[in-house]
Structure 1
Amino acid sequence: MIKVKKLPLAVAVATSLISFSSLAETENNNTQLEELTKRIQELETKVQETDYIYDQQPAVLTPDFEPPAGLVFSGYARYGAHYADSDAAYVEVGSSGRSVGRLGNEYNGGEVQLARAAKTDSGMLWDVVVMFDQWGNKAWGSEGGVNLKKMYAGATNIFESQPELYLWAGRDFHQRPQQGLNDYFWMTHDGQGGGFNNLTLGGIKLDMGFVGQVDSATGALGNDNGKYALTSKLHGIDLGIGNLDLYANYGFASKQAGEDLQDEKAWQVGAVLGLGASNKFVFKYADGADDSVFDLAGDKKVIYASLEGGVNPSSNLFIDYLASYKKLSGENVKMPWEAENTERSEYSAIVRPMYNWDEVHSTWLEAGYAMEDHVSGFEKKGWKVTLSQNVSMGGLPWSRPMLRFYVTAGDVTASEQEKVDTLTAGAMFEAWW
């Protein structure tokens, strides 16, 4: 979370002193004193912090948002040394993110964002946003290194009958629900296009978008590559035990994508069900795709389900967990040595106890296990354990920025491959702001 101050405190103090100096030179001291007091109160109000949440999700303005003065600087980053004295620097199994756990098993990278928000006399709110990112992972970044990840404008409080409706157009993060312990975006449709969020339909809300995938052959700097997605989300459905969010997406291509993809189609449906205050169930089914309908992957079919959350046995101890199952089938999921038509199941379990010694120091232990089980008989299994000593501002699991000093051990074994060991030590920081 970023805390953005609307005016520097020094400006408020300086302005107050100037006003006080003028007060001594006037005859109507009482009136000037009242005006001075009022100005100081207004400035103090502007100095108060305003919430601007940064969690790698699309930012959607609401009518009650008060734009801060100047630019809003926000972002996410993690960088550090990751020393590996082993066969592999990371433990990687399956296709669901860091399936054995992300702690001590992450690539370097970050995202830096600048935004400007404004409010018109009629109450309409606008924002213009730009973001650049750099990731040490080709799956998230590209050969171009630094990418233009966002460049869009949006507005809300446009229509009296739909004050929360937010319209946007440009390039943005788009529909990317994320899980924490495995750092997995189980849907993602970042691209350029337009759409709306928070169209109120009775007691629920609807988001819809039309986006084109960015040609990233030389970095995310190009135009559409000919692959497109229609996306939708229904949210705010209260079931008593928690909220239910529903997703439905459709992917297709134009002639720009090439003749081999022009007739391909893909679709996804998904759901997130809250279970109490800190647990949730996730389900996804995809045809012609896995995490994105941009895949246009022929007869590929994917089922994904997971349960995640956390418990807090004491004021100092937190335990987060995640268990997931994924089934992939169709010609496009085969390994090079397997038959044309195949399928596999993936299993993952991660647990992370976290103990906070005080408001600065904490110790985390993360253990994870994952397996790929192919119908051809091939198996791939992996495990990882990471011990991390942390220094943070606040002493809670989500307190950032955080410095981490960690060691990681693990290995991956496969039916037709030798055992691959991982033994690493590292020092890194992680922050969102």
Structure 2
Amino acid sequence: MKNFKLLPITVAVAASVASLSSFAADADIEALEKRIQELESRVVDIDYTDDQQPAVLTPDTPVTDGIIFSGYARYGAHSSSGDNRYVEVGSSGRSLGRLGNESNGGEVQLAKIFQADSGAKWDLVFMVDDWSNDAWGSSGGINLKKMYAGVTNIFESQPELYMWGGRDFHQRPQQGLNDYFWMTHDGQGGGFNNLNLGAAKFDMAIVGQVDSEDGALGNDNGRYAVTSKLHSINAGIGNLDIYANYGFASDEANEVGEAKVSDENAWQLGATLGLGDSNKLVVKYADGADDSVFDLAGDKSVFYASVEGNYAVSNQFIIDYLVSYKDISGDDYKDANTGRNLDKNEYAGIVRPQYQWDDVHSTWLEAGYAMEDFDDGGEKNGWKVTLSQNVSLGGMPGSRPMLRFYTTIGDVETKNMTERKTADTLAFGAMFEAWW
């Protein structure tokens, strides 16, 4: 987020100058300069960005007098004349690349920070989001995504410990090029972050999945997750984070005529390892789940691994990349309509060269390929290429807000033992993306 200025100096200067007589004495000028210095000392720069991750308050977070406004959004027109609106293969987000290949939506957050006389700092956070999409079977609408309170600096021996309760983003490590949350447990409950163990910090929580009836409800649906993360570990070549999660359900999650979900459980193990300054390894194994232990999917196991990063050819020319592999198998991993076993391997690769002409204009070219290789002989593969001309605030690939004008072409081929189908995509779009 660009620095959030609580009290712009220009406004204060203009107000002060307007009150001056055109015949002000030198003493008045000196008083004005002193007043401006006082106002400058009160300006607060605060980094409280909505990067679609949980926001954890620290003892060093500045306390503002006003409301902190943050968010993330992307909206625009996406005109497609092909068979499909977007190019999609596999279960790992936008496995062929997200550029020119993602739907509209956004989230707006309001937060307030308080400080007690003891030094404890609290935050109260509210967010609504709009990620409804006809492809996801949703009729639209705004949902309450966050409503929680948290506090830090309440234990002298653990000043960084942050405790929270309510509804929040929760444990959602994300990859950029494929827009993939390879773990996600958004819900309502409580827990803590940043328990300092010396060589590492520890997070833990229990959350319930929010009930939904064409929109978020106030109660949970009976599915729960115990989540944990051991992080900030110096592994020599980079930072190491380790995740471990367990899922279960109460009788409330059971549905009439269906197998009892309360008899199921699920677990996940995962890790990220920094490989130098600009590369990262991600590994995940899950039993009874894929991205979330809320799934309680029975006899289903998933292994996922990826390497991602970037290479700076020059200050103006940067290449991002991501390659991934995924294996999904299990007796309960079947097509709900046909009963077909869906055991498969998934492969994907994305590369995005980006050239920054100046601190406003840039040109990006993103190319991706992905394949699903089914154990029963079926196969699905696809490719996508997007050319995007961008206008942004700043001279880096991550600079936002950004306006994009793009063209996307792609093709998906599906084959089994008896038939072969193809579906192409040709799309043009104009959109904005921003986080702040």
Aligned partner letter, 1:229? A
Q: How does 1:10-21 map to 2 (within 5 A)?
A: 10-13=10-13, 16=16
How many equivalent pairs are there?
427
2:171 to 172, 175, 193: 175
Correspondence for 1:328: 328
Cα distance in structure 2, aligned partners of 1:167 and 1:150? 16
Deviations 1:238-290 (A, max 9, x none): 01110000000000001110161011100000000001111000000000000
Q: Does the Cα contact within 8 Å between 1:244 and 1:271 map onto a contact in 2?
A: yes
Residues 187 and 209 of structure 2 are in contact (CA less than 8 Å); yes or no, is this contact kept in structure 1? Answer: yes
Matches of 1:198 and 1:143, distance apart in 2: 39
State the partner residue of 2:74: 78
Report the TM-score when normalising by structure 2.
0.93
Cα distance, 1:342–1:110 mapped onto 2, change above 3 Å:
closer
Q: 4+ runs of 1 displaced by more than 3 Å?
A: 14-21, 32-39, 136-144, 335-342
Q: How does 1:186-335 map to 2 (within 5 A)?
A: 186-258=182-254, 260-335=260-335
Displacement of 1:117 in angstroms is: 0.8
Q: What's 1:102 paired with?
A: 98
Residues 320 and 353 of structure 1 are in contact (CA less than 8 Å); yes or no, is this contact kept in structure 2?
Answer: yes
Structure 2 unaligned spans of 5+: none
- Name the CA shift for 1:423/1:139 in 2 (closer, same or farther; >3 Å): closer
Cα distance per residue 1:355-392 (max 9 Å; x no partner): 01111111000000000001100000010000000011
Q: Which amino acid aligns with 1:427?
A: A
Name which of structure 1's ranges 44-53 and 278-287 shifts more when overlaid on structure 2.
44-53
Distance across 1 between alignment mates of 2:340 and 2:218? 34
Q: Are 1:379 and 2:379 counterparts?
A: yes
Could you tell me which of 156, 161, 165 is aligned with 2:161?
165
Please name the residue that 1:355 is paired with: 355
Gap change, CA 1:202 and 1:20, over 3 Å in 2: farther
Q: Distance in 1 between matches of 2:407 and 2:97?
A: 13
Q: Partner of 1:420 in structure 2?
A: 423
Alpha-carbon separation, structure 2, partners of 1:113 and 1:126: 16
* Distance in 1 separating the partners of 2:173 and 2:31: 49
Deviates more, 1:278-287 or 1:390-399: 390-399
Q: What is the CA–CA distance in structure 1 between the aligned matches of 2:332 and 2:420, rounded to whole Å?
A: 22
Alpha-carbon RMSD across the aligned residues, in angstroms, is: 2.2
C-alpha change, 1:252 and 1:51, in structure 2 (3 Å) is: same
| 1:218 CA drift (Å) | 2.4
Indicate if the aligned counterparts of 1:279 and 1:309 stay in contact, CA closer than 8 A: yes
3-state SS of 1:425 partner = strand
Q: Distance in 2 between matches of 1:138 and 1:212?
A: 26
One-letter identity of the residue aligned with 1:121:
D
C-alpha contact 1:5 1:68 (8 A) present in aligned 2: no
Q: Which residue of 2 aligns with 1:42?
A: 38
CA contact (8 A) 2:44 2:64 kept: no
User: In 1, distance between residues paired with 2:107 and 2:33?
Assistant: 41
Worse-matched range after superposition: 391-400 or 2-11: 2-11
Please give the alpha-carbon distance, in whole angstroms, between the structure 1 residues aligned to 2:341 and 2:84.
31
3-state SS of the aligned residue for 1:41? helix
Amino acid at match of 2:424: D
> For structure 1, which runs of at least 5 residues remain unmatched after alignment?
none
- Contact 1:169–1:193 under 8 Å retained in 2: yes
1:188 Cα offset (Å): 0.1
Is the alpha carbon distance of 1:136 and 1:45 closer, same or farther for their aligned partners in structure 2, counting shifts above 3 Å?
A: same
Does structure 2 conserve the Cα–Cα contact (< 8 Å) formed by 1:141 and 1:147?
Answer: no
| In structure 2, C-alpha distance between the alignment counterparts of 1:221 and 1:157, rounded to whole Å | 32
Paired letter, 1:183 = D
Task: State the one-letter code of the partner of 2:160.
Answer: E
- TM-fit CA distance, 1:417: 4.1
The alpha-carbon deviation at position 138 of structure 1 amounts to: 6.6
One-letter amino acid of the structure 2 residue matched with residue 400 of structure 1? R
Deviates more, 1:277-286 or 1:67-76: 67-76
Q: Distance in 1 between matches of 2:138 and 2:151?
A: 30
Q: 1:337 to 1:127 in 2, by over 3 A?
A: closer
Structure 2 residue 121 is matched with structure 1 residue 125: yes
Q: 1:107 to 1:341 in 2, by over 3 A?
A: closer
Moved more, 413-422 or 56-65: 413-422
Cα distance between partner residues in 1 of 2:411 and 2:66: 49
The structural deviation recorded for 1:16 is: 4.8
Contact 1:385–1:409 (CA<8 Å) still a contact in 2? yes
Q: Which amino acid aligns with 2:215?
A: G
Alignment check: 8 A CA contact 2:299 2:333 kept: no
SS of 1:40's partner is helix
2:369 alignment partner AA: Y
Q: Which amino acid aligns with 2:49?
A: I
Map Cα deviations across residues 25-75 of structure 1 (whole Å, 9 max, x no partner): 9xxx98x99876554323113335332232100000110111222111100
Q: What residue identity is the alignment partner of 2:36? A: I
Q: Give the percent of matched residue pairs that are identical in Structure 1 and Structure 2.
A: 69
